[in-house]
């Protein structure tokens, strides 16, 4: 590796580590600090936002102490926290380690900004490498209890990062403020949609699902795809090619910003079939906007040149400290105090991360507070596009002026620090291989004829997080072991807030069951049905909101045991306003389920947020359904560590005989699953 590439690679590796810490910190705030949804959303947002606000003090600390000691110390703390989090089984320690890692990462980012005036290649490469690693490690093993390949990757990234960080930093010129301002927004858009393996997989499952279903009925549902994350390879390649290539000029420079905004608008429409073009457009558009912002960074002398090599003027001096106790010299290329320029970049980086925090809190808090949030990604995309369009590519730098480093050769024309085509193509191929390697072909079969009994499990999986805040799909699979049909509630398929995991795909692989998914809150969050038997005729119905902030739906699916034996299954998660019984939603589900079954045996299962004897519970029995868990009552399921409430249920038609009802203990979610064996009717 050439010396000039070390700053870019070191910055990229630091971005990978910071993203990994964020992917633990954000869900830890919800599941550990949040105490199973009992903590007000406003307090959760204040806790998360406060650490980003605290990081605003980092540039002042750097100016007083110096960029090198602060940055190196923060880098070490970031690595220690990152590796320590990987071995935690959840609980308060995981939360505080992730918090310490986040704060250290933000301080490191401010220090990196102080010494780097051309960050775009490093930022872009870091986001792309992070997406590649998350794809190869199934999105969760890189941050939560990874096996030895995950540990090996974490240690390798950390070691290389510290080795690069230990090298003396080249002096930086006065540019780079706009590029650093976009670091936080770029990280948000990349994690929410553009470079998310889980979102790419989910988008593919809406467009190219493999299960049989009537297209007229299956509006809005997603089924298991083949090579689901493969489109991410196109997104990563397009993003890197756009970010590392020379930016377009004239009217062409509008293409990237327009693509980014259009991609964000497609996300805001909250339709699953639009997710795939949203991923591809936002990826290429985001890369092009970063390139435009970075084009102005190389127009001043005195810093790194366009390749990342040191410029002629500073001689390796810490740019956060000038001559004589911090009084920096005015530089020939821009006439600006280098300490002041370093401070501006540091504040720009921390301000960009504040944008990340504000936008993330505003977007995801809507599902607790009920305010509109579709415009948040659009607003962030417009901000990025505006910054990109406000920049002008810097002219090639001329020879040194008198009074500067006279006699040195003038830097050549601007060119990217990494070869764009080869870098983008290599990243795309590696991402594609990782996507294919991480996919498993799920199988459903009825070749042995219809069974006599069917084991049905209903499980609220809380986005995959256990009662102690640990993400553990293996524990979820053990809790549902032995089931023939599984109805899931609170299924997350790529929310950045929850770490960017496709919980449904991870669980389906472990159970070897194909699935059908129906969105409730947005295309990435809802309910699902998995089965060992073929699934057909999917249909979903939105439920009345009745004042609840989070949406709800009812998913109907038919399990085909044979030509003559079929079972209708309806999965739902009722979402009443706080303190109210979901009578209206229960009535809507019961009516939908009876009409969907059309006389066939029927199962209605899920987290119904109502207890036996409540009015909503009575809506199901009034529709002619039977409580399949009645023989095992009382059967509390929530909270999982000390269950008191009976709110997870299975209802069936009288032609199905229920037996062996149970709520297996465990803490893989904040609910216990409920399981029951049903004897199918004959003749």
Report whether 369 contacts 355 (CB < 8 A): no
Q: What is the pLDDT of residue 214?
A: 54
Res 464 pLDDT > 80: yes
Q: Which stretches within 167-302 are classed as H helix? A: 177-181, 183-189, 197-207, 231-244, 255-268, 275-295
Is residue 483 domain-shared with residue 585, that is, in the same domain? yes
Rounded to 10 deg, the angle between the 92-115 and 67-85 helix axes is: 150
Q: What is the pLDDT of residue 258?
A: 97
Residue 113 belongs to what domain range? 3-321+338-395+415-437
Q: What is the pLDDT of residue 403?
A: 40
Residue 632: strand, helix, or coil: helix
Distance CA 342, CA 334 (A): 13
Q: Which of 146-150, 163-167, 538-542 has the lowest mean pLDDT?
A: 146-150
Q: What is the pLDDT of residue 308?
A: 40
Distance CA 566, CA 24 (A): 42
Residue 560: strand, helix, or coil: strand
Distance CA 236, CA 379 (A): 23
Residue 329 is assigned to a structural domain of this protein: no
Report whether 590 contacts 622 (CB < 8 A): yes
Q: Which stretches within 391-514 are classed as H helix? A: 420-438, 473-479, 503-511
Is residue 101 domain-shared with residue 31, that is, in the same domain? yes
Is residue 553 domain-shared with residue 586, that is, in the same domain? yes
Distance CA 124, CA 102 (A): 20
Residue 65 is assigned to a structural domain of this protein: yes
Is residue 421 domain-shared with residue 507, that is, in the same domain? no
* Cα 584–Cα 590–Cα 593 angle in degrees, nearest 5: 135
Give the DSSP letter of residue 272: G
Residue 492: strand, helix, or coil: strand
The sheet carrying 515-522 orders its strands as 222-223, 515-522, 525-531, 485-492, 453-460, 674-679, 657-662
Strand pairing report for 453-460 and 485-492: parallel
Residue 512 is assigned to a structural domain of this protein: yes
Q: pLDDT, tens digit, for every residue of 621-665? A: 999 999 999 999 999 999 999 999 999 999 999 999 999 999 999
Strand partners, 519: 526
Is residue 467 domain-shared with residue 345, that is, in the same domain? no
Percent of the chain past pLDDT 90, that is, above it, reads: 67
Res 3 pLDDT > 70: no
Res 95 pLDDT > 90: yes
Res 412 pLDDT > 70: no
Q: What is the pLDDT of residue 331?
A: 37
Residue 527: strand, helix, or coil: strand
What confidence tier does 332 reach under pLDDT thresholds 50, 70, 90?
very low
Strand partners, 486: 457, 530
Q: Which of 35-44, 378-387, 531-540, 660-669 has the lowest mean pLDDT?
A: 35-44
Q: What is the pLDDT of residue 36?
A: 53
Is residue 363 domain-shared with residue 388, that is, in the same domain? yes
Residue 406 is assigned to a structural domain of this protein: no
What confidence tier does 5 reach under pLDDT thresholds 50, 70, 90?
confident
Q: What is the mean pLDDT of residues 605-621?
A: 96
Question: What CATH number has the domain bearing residue 288?
Answer: 1.20.1250
User: Where a domain ends, among 379, 406, 437?
Assistant: 437
Closest CA to 153 of 164, 176, 137, 166: 137
Distance CA 65, CA 47 (A): 28
Distance CA 330, CA 309 (A): 21
Q: What is the pLDDT of residue 148?
A: 77
User: Where a domain ends, among 407, 437, 467?
Assistant: 437
Distance CA 558, CA 534 (A): 8
Is residue 51 domain-shared with residue 118, that is, in the same domain? yes
Is residue 432 domain-shared with residue 495, that is, in the same domain? no
Q: Which of 154-163, 367-376, 553-562 has the lowest mean pLDDT?
A: 367-376
Distance CA 592, CA 92 (A): 43
Tokens 């910071």, residue located: 18
Q: What is the mean pLDDT of residues 398-406?
A: 41
Q: What is the pLDDT of residue 370?
A: 82
Count CA within 13 A, CB hemisphere, residue 58: 36
Rounded to 10 deg, the angle between the 338-364 and 58-65 helix axes is: 160
| Highest-pLDDT range among 437-441, 562-566, 584-588 | 584-588
Q: What is the pLDDT of residue 492?
A: 96
Is residue 531 domain-shared with residue 572, that is, in the same domain? yes
Question: What CATH number has the domain bearing residue 509?
Answer: 3.60.10.10
Report whether 242 contacts 318 (CB < 8 A): no
User: Where a domain ends, among 385, 404, 437?
Assistant: 437
What confidence tier does 375 reach under pLDDT thresholds 50, 70, 90?
very high
Residue 323: strand, helix, or coil: helix
Q: pLDDT, tens digit, for every residue of 18-71? A: 999 999 999 999 999 986 567 788 888 899 999 999 999 999 999 999 999 999
Report whether 258 contacts 246 (CB < 8 A): no
Res 392 pLDDT > 90: no
Residue 328 is assigned to a structural domain of this protein: no
Residue 184 is assigned to a structural domain of this protein: yes
Residue 91 is assigned to a structural domain of this protein: yes
Res 170 pLDDT > 80: no
What confidence tier does 311 reach under pLDDT thresholds 50, 70, 90?
very low
Is residue 248 domain-shared with residue 381, that is, in the same domain? yes
Q: What is the pLDDT of residue 512?
A: 93
Please give the mean pLDDT across all residues of the chain: 87
Q: Which of 186-200, 244-258, 411-425, 474-488 has the lowest mean pLDDT?
A: 411-425
The more confident residue out of 213 and 446 is 446
Question: Model pTM greater than 0.75?
Answer: yes
Residue 540 is assigned to a structural domain of this protein: yes
Is residue 424 domain-shared with residue 457, that is, in the same domain? no
Per-residue exposure over 582-602, b if at least 16 CB sit within 10 Å of its own CB, e if not: bbbbbbbbbebbbebbeeebb
What confidence tier does 219 reach under pLDDT thresholds 50, 70, 90?
low
Distance CA 663, CA 561 (A): 26
Is residue 652 domain-shared with residue 517, that is, in the same domain? yes
Structurally, how many domains does the chain consist of?
2
Q: pLDDT, tens digit, for every residue of 466-523? A: 999 989 999 999 999 999 999 999 999 999 999 999 999 999 999 999 999 999 989 9
Count CA within 13 A, CB hemisphere, residue 367: 19
């Amino acid at each position: 590796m050439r010396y000039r590439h070390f700053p870019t690679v070191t910055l990229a590796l630091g971005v990978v580590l910071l993203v990994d810490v964020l992917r633990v910190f954000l869900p830890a705030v919800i599941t550990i600090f949040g105490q199973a949804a009992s903590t007000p959303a406003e307090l959760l947002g204040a806790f998360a936002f406060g650490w980003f606000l605290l990081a605003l003090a980092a540039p002042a600390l750097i100016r007083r102490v110096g960029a090198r000691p602060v940055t190196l110390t923060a880098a070490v703390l970031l690595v220690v926290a990152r590796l320590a989090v990987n071995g935690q089984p959840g609980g308060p320690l995981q939360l505080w380690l992730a918090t310490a890692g986040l704060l250290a990462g933000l301080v490191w980012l401010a220090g990196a900004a102080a010494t780097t005036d051309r960050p775009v290649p490093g930022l872009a490469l870091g986001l792309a490498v992070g997406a590649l690693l998350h794809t190869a490690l199934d999105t969760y093993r890189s941050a939560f209890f990874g096996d030895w390949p995950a540990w090996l990757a974490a240690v390798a990234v950390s070691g290389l990062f510290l080795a690069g960080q230990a090298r003396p930093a080249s002096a930086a010129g006065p540019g780079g403020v706009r590029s650093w301002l976009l670091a936080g927004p770029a990280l948000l858009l990349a994690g929410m949609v553009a470079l998310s393996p889980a979102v790419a997989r989910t988008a593919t499952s809406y467009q190219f699902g493999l299960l049989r279903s009537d297209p007229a009925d299956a509006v809005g549902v997603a089924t298991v795809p083949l090579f689901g994350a493969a489109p991410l390879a196109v997104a990563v390649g397009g993003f890197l090619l756009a970010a590392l290539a020379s930016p377009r000029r004239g009217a062409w420079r509008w293409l990237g910003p327009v693509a980014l905004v259009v991609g964000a608008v497609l996300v805001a429409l909250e339709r699953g079939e639009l997710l795939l073009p949203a991923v591809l457009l936002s990826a290429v558009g985001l890369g092009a906007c970063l390139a435009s912002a970075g084009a102005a960074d190389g127009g001043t002398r005195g810093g790194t040149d366009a390749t990342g090599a040191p410029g002629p003027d500073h001689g390796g001096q810490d740019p956060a400290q000038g001559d004589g106790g911090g009084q920096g010299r005015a530089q020939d290329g821009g006439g600006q105090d280098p300490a002041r320029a370093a401070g501006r970049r540091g504040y720009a980086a921390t301000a960009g991360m504040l944008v990340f925090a504000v936008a993330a809190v505003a977007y995801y808090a809507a599902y607790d507070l009920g305010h509109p949030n579709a415009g948040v990604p659009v607003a962030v995309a417009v901000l990025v596009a505006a910054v990109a369009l406000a920049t002008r590519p810097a002219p090639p730098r001329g020879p040194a002026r008198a009074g500067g480093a006279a006699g040195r050769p003038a830097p050549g024309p601007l060119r990217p620090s990494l070869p764009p085509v080869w870098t983008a193509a290599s990243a795309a191929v590696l991402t594609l291989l990782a996507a294919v390697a991480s996919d498993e072909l799920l199988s459903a079969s009825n070749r042995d004829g219809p069974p006599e009994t069917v084991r049905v499990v209903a499980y609220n999986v809380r986005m995959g997080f256990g009662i102690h805040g640990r993400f553990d799909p293996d524990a979820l699979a053990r809790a549902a072991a032995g089931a023939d049909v599984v109805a899931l509630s609170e299924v997350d398929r790529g929310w950045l807030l929850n770490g960017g995991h496709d919980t449904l795909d991870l669980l389906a692989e472990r159970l070897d069951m194909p699935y059908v998914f129906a969105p409730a809150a947005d295309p990435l969050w809802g309910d699902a049905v998995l089965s060992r038997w073929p699934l057909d005729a999917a249909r979903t119905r939105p439920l009345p909101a009745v004042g609840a902030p989070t949406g709800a739906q009812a998913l109907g699916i038919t399990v085909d045991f044979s030509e003559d034996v079929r079972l209708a299954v309806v999965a739902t998660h009722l979402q009443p306003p706080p303190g109210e019984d979901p009578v209206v939603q229960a009535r809507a589900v019961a009516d939908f389920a009876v009409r969907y079954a059309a006389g066939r045996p029927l199962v209605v299962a899920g987290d119904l947020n109502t207890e036996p004897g409540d009015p909503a519970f009575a809506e199901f029995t009034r529709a002619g359904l039977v409580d399949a868990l009645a023989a095992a009552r009382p059967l509390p399921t929530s909270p999982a560590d000390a269950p008191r409430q009976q709110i997870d249920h299975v209802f069936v038609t009288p032609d199905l005989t229920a037996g062996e009802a149970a709520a297996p203990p465990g803490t893989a979610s904040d609910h216990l699953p409920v399981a029951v064996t049903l004897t199918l009717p004959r003749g």
